[in-house]
Structure 1
Amino acid sequence: MDSRSDEDDVRVRPTRHGSRPRTRTRPAHDDAVPGMVIAVDRGRMQVRVEGPDGAPVDVTAMRARELGKHGVVVGDRVRIVGDTSGRTDTLARIVVIEDRATSLRRTADDTDPTERIVVANAELLVVVTSVTDPEPALGFLDRCLVAAYAGGLAPLLCLTKTDLASPQPLLDRYAGLEVEAVPMSREASLAELLERLTGRMSVLVGQSGVGKSTLVNRLVPDAFRATGDVSKIGKGRHTSSSAVLLDLPGGGTVIDTPGIRSLGLAHVTAQDVLAAFDDLAEAAVDCPPGCGHTAEDPECALDAWAADGPPARAERLGSFRRLITAVGHVT
């Protein structure tokens, strides 16, 4: 995929003397400065660039008109021109959006084909859920795993409130998928979780009441201040739907996504999920065309694959089928 800056184009504009071709060459922007989008609010983006002394500088920018309808999200690697000093009341322009390595996507619901990219280039999707109070929203958890696999992110379960109940039922549920999980409580050390987050870009999702905000504030002690800075970008009140990238004290970043309460998966197919499972994808080569890989598909080759192996295969297949059922429109 090419970078998002437009190529040269030719436009024809009629005049009273007739029509003649008008050629407009887009600027190359060879002097554009690379950076990363760390916050978006009301059409303004905060882009982190390297300053003259090598220290990071946060620059307020807007999307250049030449980018057309291409949206900009937190995590995007971009190139900007204009005033990159980061001084108050200065504004730069984003002229290039680099190719995205991964993307966390969702739709409004399972009937809306229009997908929205929420976060770009994250390596890890940390799904925060409590083991009790409230009870785990299993459907939401399955959907998060589907979104991770379909977007190229590695999933990690962060199981909170383990001082109130055992995490074992959830660990058993996802054992067949070999998903890593970290049990947590308010008093538990963050060491095990930080071991997986340090040096990486991670995105946190979780529903209300599961302790995600508490976790974010423990991971990033000045998270409240950093989140409040988003309001300075769009010149308005910070809303809870704004994702923001936060620096971990020991290195690496986490993206908090307080606005994600549900995940529509209209853009995802069974094949998208299957692509994340090398062993299942290899066995599925023998499936007939159009196979949905469910238990209702009588000629699905995955049944024979599971039957011919150890019990763990059947467990893995069952977990996989639960995920593609979560898609809601298996094709």
Structure 2
Amino acid sequence: MREYDESDAKVRPPKRGSRPRSKLRPAHEDAVPGTVVGVDRGRFTVWKSDTDTTVIAVKARELGRRGLVIGDIVGMVGDSTGDKGTLARIVRREPRATELRRTADDTDPTERVIVANANQLAIVTALADPDPNPRMIDRCLVAAFAAGMDAVLVLTKADLGSGAELRATYEPLGVKVLETTVRHDTDVLKSHDGTPDEQAGMEALRTQVADVSTVFVGYSGVGKSTLVNVLVPGAGRVTGIVNDVTGRGRHTSTSAVALELPAGGWIIDTPGIRSFGLAHVDIENFISVFPDIADAAAEFCPRGCGHASAEDGCALDEWAQTADQQARVDSIRRLLATRADNDSWQ
């Protein structure tokens, strides 16, 4: 038998990447700032305000699992010229001022950020074809208030119905209500006396969205994309019609996109929604969004009050000395009930 020596031993090559990884990461102090205005299959369109150009970028590994959405303010390295065929890397995401979030339903623990750093939520609802859905409006308002965003209710197709009832319901909450008639290339805003005024109409709406970032949400078929096309000429958002059988519109906007307004500000057009879960909203803290009601509740209501009704021990009715105050209390109670109700509103 032959004898073995050290030459018979097989020496395995060192494993690739076995060297301990340093915890130090580059600071990227030279990162170029920008704002995410488009997301498409792992590619991000980033707008640079200093040069008014857009850059295509990917997310760098150092960002980890942190997601990026429309409105995120980021830092980029690499080729940020925006030239054709170039690709930058997003290495930093700045803290968000606001986050508009929703869940699949009220029992889903996984929340999804729709848009970041927006100032205002425009809830677009048709007065007819399809009919308005107050529960959807309520849920969008709860999400907006929970995010610290202002809200405006934009009623389209005002030539087919009256918005008086919806105004009476939502104006006590401090929600601005605008009635518009949108027919692809025409638009009319009706004043509260029902007199159409085309020029004043679009000026009022343009003033509402000027110099701020506004998210447009609504059912498919309510005229949301048509309204965006009027506000942003050349936007080219595809418009659709409402199915005569189901009463619902066909999804025409398939992804969210940020569009710059000619006079300043941004509109974020989102796909038509079918559900708006509120599992992420804390009912205990929701009432603090309304300072006058929160102060009244702290003074008059018993500890642990759910503010459901006077029969349940809520004392907000004692505070409400005027019809306007009582309407405000009733509206907020409806929003609280909307959040507590796990039933589908579709």
TM-score band, normalised by the shorter chain?
0.7 to 0.9
The residue aligned with 1:304 is 318
Residue of 122, 135, 141 corresponding to 1:139? 135
2:166 match? 170
Q: How many residues align?
A: 298
Partner Cα distance (2:80, 2:319) in 1: 57
SS of corresponding position for 1:144:
helix
What is the CA–CA distance in structure 2 between the aligned matches of 1:122 and 1:241, rounded to whole Å?
A: 20
The alignment partner of 1:74 has SS state of coil
The one-letter code matched in structure 2 to 1:264 is: G
Partner of 1:60: 56
C-alpha distance in 1 between matches for 2:90 and 2:160 = 48
Shift of 1:297: 7.3
Q: Which runs of 5+ in 1 are unaligned?
A: 1-14, 228-238
Query: Quick check: 278-287 or 71-80, which moved more?
Result: 278-287
Asked if 2 retains the 8 angstrom alpha-carbon contact of 1:270 and 1:293, the reply is no
Q: Deviations over 1:199-218 (max 9, x none)?
A: 11111011022111110111
Corresponding position: 1:325 with 2:337: yes
Q: How does 1:267-282 map to 2 (within 5 A)?
A: 267-282=280-295
The question of 1:101 aligning with 2:97 is answered yes
Deviation larger for 286-295 or 22-31 = 286-295
Whether 2:138 is the aligned partner of 1:126: answer no
Aligned-partner Cα distance in 2 for 1:253–1:65: 29
Asked whether the equivalents of residues 242 and 259 of structure 1 are also in contact (C-alpha less than 8 Å), the reply is no
What's the CA shift for 1:225? 7.2
Q: Percent identity of the aligned residues?
A: 52
Residue 203 of structure 1 is matched in structure 2 by: 215
Structural mapping, 1:1-331, within 5 Å: 23-50=22-49, 54-186=50-182, 187-188=187-188, 189=198, 190-224=202-236, 240-286=253-299, 287-295=301-309, 298-306=312-320, 309-328=321-340
TM-score (norm 1): 0.84
Assess if the C-alpha contact under 8 Å between 1:126 and 1:202 holds in 2.
Answer: yes
* CA displacement, residues 49-100 of structure 1 (integer Å, 9 cap, x when unaligned): 14xxx43111111111111111100011111111101112221111111111
Q: Report the CA distance shift for 1:57/1:297 in structure 2 as closer, same or farther (over 3 A).
A: farther
Contact 1:226–1:246 (8 Å) recurs in 2: no
TM-score (norm 2): 0.80
Q: Aligned partners of 2:51, 2:115: CA distance in 1, in Å?
A: 25
Residue identity in the other structure for 2:159: D
Any unmatched runs of 5+ in structure 2? 1-13, 189-197, 240-251
User: Which secondary structure state, in structure 1, belongs to the residue aligned with residue 158 of structure 2?
Assistant: coil
Deviations 1:8-62 (A, max 9, x none): xxxxxxx99xx99764201101000111000111111101114xxx431111111
| Cα contact 1:243–1:259 (8 A) shared by 2 | no
Paired with 2:237 and 2:217, the residues of 1 have a C-alpha distance of: 20
For the aligned residues, what is the CA RMSD? 2.4
Give the superposition deviation at 1:276: 1.5
Task: State the partner residue of 2:192.
Answer: none
> Counterparts of 1:262 and 1:99 in 2: how far apart (Å)?
28
Matched residues in 2 for 1:39 and 1:226: separation? 16
User: Which structure's relative contact order is higher, taking Cα pairs within 8 Å and 6+ residues apart?
Assistant: 1
SS state at 2:137 partner: helix
Counterpart residue type for residue 205 of structure 1: V
Contact 1:113 1:267 in 2 (8 A): yes
Task: Specify the structure having the higher radius of gyration (Cα).
Answer: 2
Relative to structure 1, the CA distance from residue 211 to residue 322 in structure 2 (aligned partners, 3 Å threshold; closer, same or farther) is: same
1:178: how far off? 2.3
Alpha-carbon separation, structure 1, partners of 2:112 and 2:304? 26
3-state SS, counterpart of residue 303 of structure 1: helix
Partner secondary structure for residue 275 of structure 1: helix
Q: Is the 8 A contact 1:60 1:91 kept in 2?
A: yes
**Inter-CA distance 288–23: structure 2 relative to 1 (3 Å threshold):** farther
